[in-house]
Structure 1
Amino acid sequence: GITERFPATLDEAQIDYAQDHLRMLSGLYGLLRPLDLMRPYRLEMGTHWAPRRKKLTDWWGDRVAVALTEDLAASGSDIVLNLASQEYWAAVDGRLPGDVRIVAVDFREGADARFVSFHAKQARGAMARWVVEHRIEDVASLRGFDTDGYRFDAEASSDAQLRFVR
């Protein structure tokens, strides 16, 4: 929940912004808002369930995407900033309406721009916090993200994917 990712360093307006704009994907609970109550658990979205050995993404089907689409409609936005790992994004990928603009973020390391899963996970959380702190409302403003030494790489970015390298 929000107390783990955003300890008591956000003001009330920032917490309200997070509640209105931030959604988290959960293998157990589906789509969560920051203040939703839940019990601690460890269950990855890619987990296979017996007896059919289907992944949780198959079990969730369109339900997560439908909930996200409803939240987008209520907010008046048509943009999803995808900070999820590929494993979790699979629960939504290809299931959102065609008019939804998805902007993925890619975090890379070093001169060779290599992908390091552990660092990417930390960077996704740092960007989520940065978006909340700055109350970002447009894609162009995301280019200003510079936490933990990351810098926007315009040459490696596109309208659908923003790359940050440190």
Structure 2
Amino acid sequence: MLMVLSPAKKLDYDTPVRTTRRSLPVFPDDTRELVGVLQRLSAGDLAGLMSLSDALARLNAERYAAWVDAPDHQHARQAALAFNGDVYEGLRAAELSDAQLDWAQDRLAILSGLYGVLRPLDLIQPYRLEMGTRLRTARGATLYAFWGDRIAQELNRRLDALSGDRVLLNLASNEYFKSIDRKALRARVVECVFQDEKNGAWKVISFHAKRARGLMARHVIDHAIEAVEDLRGFEAEGYAYASEASSDDRLVFRRPA
């Protein structure tokens, strides 16, 4: 079983990193091509393209101008330790042992507009490029067109190397999961849905759902889960499996008010 997560806008390049384990992303040439396109844009262009404030646009223009083609640990950080949004607060990757990081390296994929797909220990430089950005390249008008079936084929390669169920566990947002060409993907897709009780109804509340996706990824790593049926034991922070709302490929977890 292979998990997929979305990245985060919020980054942490300041907190000391304990582990020395690191790897390099699998699509360096594609990333360099995108960086080349972004380097030709002004801060104003980036602000309009990504709906950024002037300060954030200048910051990202500076990031792309200073890009290093072969970064080391001084310029980059492991992806699972660099991303710092709601999902990653649930994942708490900095608390994982080296043995757990090694296990997750093979079983966790982070989708990325700039890098395509990342392993937890892949070194990444600070960036901002959401998958839904309509960035025109030689391959088309969007990042979905740019990546084509590359992401799906890389996930296939990683699934080929794993034993157990050939399952892709979708813990990503719709924006990022759309980057996977389902026709090219050779795997059963299982989705986890996290609902909270609000005003007497069950609702997906974005903030809570993002954190819960990270909590589920951490649960899988902590228990070295390989089979879909073992996911039903997830009970972090008050969530519990709701069999009456679930199906074989859509596992629903609910948390009462």
Name the counterpart of 1:2.
80
TM-score, normalised via structure 1 length: 0.91
CA distance in 2, matches of 1:27, 1:95: 20
Identity %: 48
**Which gives a bigger RCO, structure 1 or 2 (Cα 8 Å, sep 6+)?**
2
Structure 2 Cα separation of the partners of residues 87 and 2 of structure 1 = 19
Moved over 6 A (4+): none
User: Which residue of the partner structure matches residue 44 of structure 1?
Assistant: 130
User: Which residue pairs with 1:104 in the alignment?
Assistant: 191
Out of 81, 88, 98, the position equivalent to 1:12 is: 98
Q: Distance in 1 between matches of 2:173 and 2:145?
A: 16
Q: Mean alpha-carbon deviation: is it higher for 69-78 or for 145-154?
A: 69-78
Moved more, 61-70 or 15-24: 15-24
Are positions 1:73 and 2:170 aligned together? no
Equivalent of 2:210 in 108, 111, 121:
121
**What RMSD over aligned residues (CA atoms) do the two structures have, in Å?**
1.8
Cα distance in structure 2, aligned partners of 1:128 and 1:104? 12
Number of residues of Structure 1 aligned to a counterpart in Structure 2: 165
Gaps of 5+ in 2: 1-78, 83-87
**From 146, 152, 170, the counterpart of 1:82:** 170
- Is there any run of 5+ residues in structure 1 with no aligned partner, and where? none
* Distance across 2 between alignment mates of 1:151 and 1:24: 25
Structure (1 or 2) with the larger CA radius of gyration: 2
Cα distance in structure 2, aligned partners of 1:118 and 1:55? 27
Shift of 1:51: 7.1
Task: Map residues 145-156 of structure 1 onto 2, 5 A cutoff.
Answer: 145-156=234-245
Deviations 1:85-123 (A, max 9, x none): 01100011523445x111011111104111111211111
Taking structure 2 as the reference length, the TM-score comes to 0.60
